[in-house]
Amino acid sequence: MYKNFKIVKVNYKYCDFLRKYDNKVSYNAGTKDLRPFIGVLFKIDKFEYFAPLSSPKKKHKQLRNTIDLIKINKGKYGVINFNNMIPVKSNNYEEFDLNKKTSNKKEIQRIALMNNQLRWLTSNKKDIYTKSRLLYNLYKNNKLSKNIKTRCCNFPLLEEKCKEYNNK
């Protein structure tokens, strides 16, 4: 029922396209390996949804889990921002190589972090699927508080734009 997660990098041109219609789409510069997105959260119709990860920050330890955010291992490994999840097709992303060999210390640390995130996400798969679907359904049925809804991407609009982008 639940698919395995993957760490992927969404094509920055696709993100730029979506951002023209919704400024809550995360920035994903093409010049760096910024903002990898965590793999399939759920599937609705023909869409896979991916949610951006945020690297650990001090403030994450103070945050609490909400309908649109989950702390990964109590914030130790960052957070998942469900409010910024976007629909994608398989040609809009590529899988990040977590077995990549490198001598760059920063990159080694980053790969270790992503492996830790992936292990935690896999062991909490059911909760992640449940929370992402709940947020999506509440948004789509206009049952979110105004405060939360204004933090979220417009999922139905982005689904239409995803179709448009991928039919070109």
Query: Tell me: the pLDDT tens digits for 57-73?
Result: 999 888 999 999 999 99
Structural domain boundaries enclosing 44:
7-166
Please report whether residue 2 resides in a domain: no
Query: What is the per-residue pLDDT across 116-163, written as a single tens digit (0 to 9) for each?
Result: 999 999 999 999 989 999 999 999 999 999 999 999 999 999 999 999
Please report whether residue 73 resides in a domain: yes
Please report whether residue 100 resides in a domain: yes
Per-residue pLDDT, 124:
94
Q: Give a three-class secondary structure readout of the chain.
A: CCCCCCEEEECHHHHHHHHCCCCCCCCCCCCCCCCCEECCCCEECCEEEEEEEECCCHHHHHCCCECCEEECCCCCCCEEEHHHCEEECHHHEEECCCCCCCCCHHHHHHHHHHHHHHHHHHHCHHHHHHHHHHHHHHHHCCCCCHHHHHHCCCHHHHHHHHHHHHCC
Q: How many folded domains does the chain comprise?
A: 1
Please report whether residue 1 resides in a domain: no
Please report whether residue 46 resides in a domain: yes
7: pLDDT confidence band, cut at 50, 70 and 90?
A: confident
Per-residue pLDDT, 134:
94
Query: What is the per-residue pLDDT across 38-63, written as a single tens digit (0 to 9) for each?
Result: 666 677 767 888 888 888 999 988 89
Please report whether residue 96 resides in a domain: yes
State the Cα–Cα distance between residues 102 and 89, nearest whole angstrom. 29
Q: What is the CA radius of gyration of the chain?
A: 15
CATH number of the domain that residue 104 is part of: 3.10.129.130
Please report whether residue 23 resides in a domain: yes
CB contact at 8 A, 168 and 35: no
76: pLDDT confidence band, cut at 50, 70 and 90?
A: very high
Please report whether residue 21 resides in a domain: yes
Mean pLDDT of the region 30-43 = 61
Per-residue pLDDT, 27:
74
Per-residue pLDDT, 44:
75
Report which of 162, 3, 20 is spatially closest to residue 91, judged by C-alpha positions: 162
